[in-house]
Amino acid sequence: MSGIPNRDDRYLVMNMTDDDTILQLVAGVDEAGRGPMIGPMVVCGVAFDVADIQRLESLGVKDSKLLTATRREELYEHISELAENMVITPISAAQIDDARKRGISLNDIELDAFVSIINELQPSEVFVDAADVDADRFGRQIIERCTLTPNCSVVSEHRADITYPVVSAASVLAKVERDHRIEELHAIHGDFGSGYPSDSVSVGFIQAVVSETGDVPDIVRRTWSPVRKILLDAKTEQSQLDSF
């Protein structure tokens, strides 16, 4: 059972050639926001004509975590212009929670998104940043579940966003897209920090909301263990108060 969002929640950008030229596409797929308690995970796939890979490398793309926010924004524009097509798939906190309650692991949620994106891009070669502790197994699962073009090769590795520019490009697009969505959520809900469990601002935000309302908003991943603990502690505290 799929854990990815409906098609309406995703978008495909295509910059195809003006003629009927058949391109040899090389694609990269990566995600941003896998670990936070708050906000979406965004999975991105981007495909380039093999003839443009050198131009991509010349842009200086690298793992998005190694770039400043300003540089990511600049690269986002350059990558979008150079890419033949790209698919952005945001997966909300509520969608992640719903899938996990149905027994779908985070790895499988991500795998579903990777497979759907690759099926849309239809590359001749694809490089992915493996979401499984066993990178080879993740690659095999993609091959088994994708409708790939004939002779398409799949390279699945950990830290592929550092090794392969096409995955670095996907990493940049995913990170920028998630950052924009987090900014939008900040405008609605106030400053909740980065959303990561290690961020005291994020933890304080969730504790304050739970203290005030007894629950968390749907931007919070309630299936995350730190969130479950905050909810449980609040319930225990309320039970103790009610016993007096």
Domain identity same for 69 and 149: yes
- CATH number at 216 reads 1.10.10.460
C-beta separation of 83 from 46 below 8 A:
yes
Domain identity same for 181 and 146: yes
What's the whole-model pTM score?
A: 0.88
Q: Give me the tens of pLDDT residue by residue for the chain, a chain 244 residues long.
A: 445 454 445 555 544 444 555 679 999 999 999 999 999 999 999 999 999 999 999 998 877 788 899 999 999 999 999 999 999 999 999 999 999 999 999 999 999 999 999 999 999 999 999 999 999 999 999 999 999 888 899 999 999 999 999 999 999 999 999 999 999 999 999 999 999 999 999 999 999 999 999 999 999 999 999 999 999 988 766 555 555 5
The dihedral over CA atoms of 22, 83, 124, 104, expressed in degrees to the nearest 10, equals -140
Domain identity same for 36 and 87: yes
SS3 assignment, position 211 = helix
C-beta separation of 30 from 44 below 8 A:
yes
Last residue of a domain, one of 186, 202, 221: 186
C-beta separation of 37 from 79 below 8 A:
no
Domain identity same for 130 and 67: yes
Residue 47: exposure state from Cβ atoms within 10 A (0-12, 13-18, ≥19): buried
Range of the domain at 210: 191-242
SS3 assignment, position 225 = helix
Domain identity same for 178 and 214: no
Total structural domains in the chain?
A: 2
Q: How far is CA 135 from CA 57, 111, 140, 155, 165, in A?
A: 24, 12, 9, 9, 18
The CA distance from 57 to 92, in Å, is 32
Domain identity same for 111 and 225: no
